[in-house]
C-alpha cells in the first residue's frame, strides 16, 4: 500500500480504497488494479463500418438496462424454495449402508 501511495498519491489511493470497499474487493492487488484502470486513457472508437451499406444505416433503440438489473438483483432462491424434485435425495433410506448400531436393531 505504501508503494501505491508513493506511485499514485494518497488521494488517488484513498479513492481506490473506497471503490474497492464498495465492491467488497479487499487487498492491495484490487486497489492497484483500480488505480491502473483510472490512469488508462480510453479513446472513443468510431463505429464499425460494415460491407453492406444498408446495414450501416440500421438504427437500434436505446438500450435500457433496467430489465437486466431487475433480473440480476432479484433475490437468489434458497434451496427450500426450489421444487421438491430438485432437493429430494434419490437414495432411499433402505439403500443407506448399515452401521453397527443399525445391524443390532434389526437383529442381524
3-state secondary structure of 59: coil
User: Which residues in 87-104 are b (16+ Cβ under 10 Å) and which e?
Assistant: eeeeeeeeeeeeeeeeee
| Residue whose grid cell is 431487475 | 70
List, for residues 34-52, the tens digit of each pLDDT value: 999 888 766 778 888 899 9
Centroid of chain to Cα 18:
19
| Residue whose grid cell is 444505416 | 57
The rounded percent of the chain whose pLDDT value lies above 70 is: 68
The mean per-residue pLDDT over the stretch 74-86 comes to 58
| Structure-model confidence comparison of residues 83 and 32, the more confident one | 32
Rounded Cα gap, residues 108 and 100, in angstroms: 10
Q: Where are the domains of the chain?
A: 1-42
Amino acid at each position: 500500500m505504501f508503494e501505491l501511495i508513493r506511485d499514485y498519491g494518497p488521494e488517488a489511493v484513498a479513492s481506490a480504497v473506497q471503490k474497492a470497499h464498495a465492491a467488497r474487493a479487499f487487498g492491495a492487488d484490487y486497489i492497484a488494479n483500480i488505480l491502473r484502470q483510472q490512469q488508462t486513457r480510453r479513446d472513443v472508437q468510431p463505429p464499425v463500418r460494415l460491407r453492406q451499406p444498408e446495414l450501416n444505416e440500421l438504427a437500434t433503440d436505446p438500450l435500457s438496462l433496467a430489465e437486466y438489473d431487475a433480473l440480476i438483483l432479484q433475490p437468489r432462491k434458497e434451496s427450500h424454495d426450489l421444487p421438491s424434485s430438485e432437493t429430494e435425495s434419490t437414495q432411499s433410506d433402505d439403500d443407506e449402508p448399515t452401521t453397527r448400531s443399525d445391524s443390532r436393531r434389526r437383529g442381524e
